């Protein structure tokens, strides 16, 4: 049976977020979260004051095509914009495929939305989050250190960022006295 890839071992460095051998790297800054943050004035200030990196995704060299199972490590830096914790842009899959997140370092919240309902799942070292097919997903870092997780998804899953930008995730992860809370998204 033909395959695009050969077997290989990949080092997953929980301390740095590096994957070796390494595929594409994606870096997202505050400016890449345009339209996604509730407090637009705070977002604008953050862009104007250094526009820091919010998260980085280091992928293994596995192509996003049918039959392959790409994987990557995402590192979300600690921080917030207004009251909203640093987070990924969030996406839905373009095909009805699930995804698995495995927490490596730090503490995060996986937000999910199926078009009607929002759910939140807390992740940390040794805790996996299951994204069923049909659920858009976003992660936020709710602690003072980097939050890092392994993601595994079928090569045909695809990434639809527009759906999340248009309709939101139904909820937001914001600072609270005891760490974080998940609040309904008032823009809905």
Residues that bind its own copies (CB under 8 A): 1-14, 60, 62, 66-69, 71, 96-100, 102, 110, 112, 114-115, 119, 121-123, 126-135, 150, 152-155
Cβ–Cβ under 8 Å, residues 36 and 90: yes
Backbone φ and ψ for 15, nearest 5 degrees, come out as -80, -25
CA contacts within 13 A on the Cβ side of 177: 0
Provide, rounded to whole angstroms, the least separation between the CB of residue 40 and its own copies.
Answer: 29
Query: Which two tokens mark 178?
Result: 């005891």
For residues 37 and 168, which CB has a smaller minimum distance to its own copies in the complex?
168
For residues 21 and 35, which CB has a smaller minimum distance to its own copies in the complex?
21
Provide, rounded to whole angstroms, the least separation between the CB of residue 101 and its own copies.
Answer: 9
For residues 110 and 173, which CB has a smaller minimum distance to its own copies in the complex?
110
Provide, rounded to whole angstroms, the least separation between the CB of residue 96 and its own copies.
Answer: 5
For residues 82 and 134, which CB has a smaller minimum distance to its own copies in the complex?
134
Burial class (CB in 10 A: 0-12, 13-18, 19+), 178: exposed
Provide, rounded to whole angstroms, the least separation between the CB of residue 174 and its own copies.
Answer: 20
Q: Supply the DSSP string of 134-173, one letter for each residue.
A: T-EEEEEE-SSS-EEEEEE--TT---BHHHHHHH--SEEE
């Amino acid at each position: 049976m033909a395959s695009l890839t050969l077997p290989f071992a990949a080092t997953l460095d929980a301390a740095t977020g590096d994957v070796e051998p390494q595929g594409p790297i994606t870096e997202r800054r505050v400016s890449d979260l345009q339209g996604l943050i509730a407090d637009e004035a705070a977002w604008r200030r953050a862009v104007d004051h250094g526009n820091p990196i919010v998260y980085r995704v280091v992928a293994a060299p596995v192509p996003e095509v049918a039959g392959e199972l790409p994987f990557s490590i995402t590192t979300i830096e600690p921080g917030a914009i207004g009251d909203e914790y640093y987070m990924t842009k969030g996406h839905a899959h373009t095909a009805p495929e699930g995804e698995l997140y495995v927490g490596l370092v730090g503490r995060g919240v996986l937000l999910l939305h199926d078009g009607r309902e929002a759910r939140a799942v807390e992740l940390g070292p040794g805790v996996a989050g299951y994204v069923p097919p049909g659920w858009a997903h976003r992660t936020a870092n709710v602690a003072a250190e980097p939050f890092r997780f392994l993601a595994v998804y079928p090569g045909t899953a695809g990434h639809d960022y527009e759906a999340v930008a248009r309709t939101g995730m139904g909820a937001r992860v914001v600072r609270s006295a005891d760490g974080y809370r998940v609040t309904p998204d008032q823009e809905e």
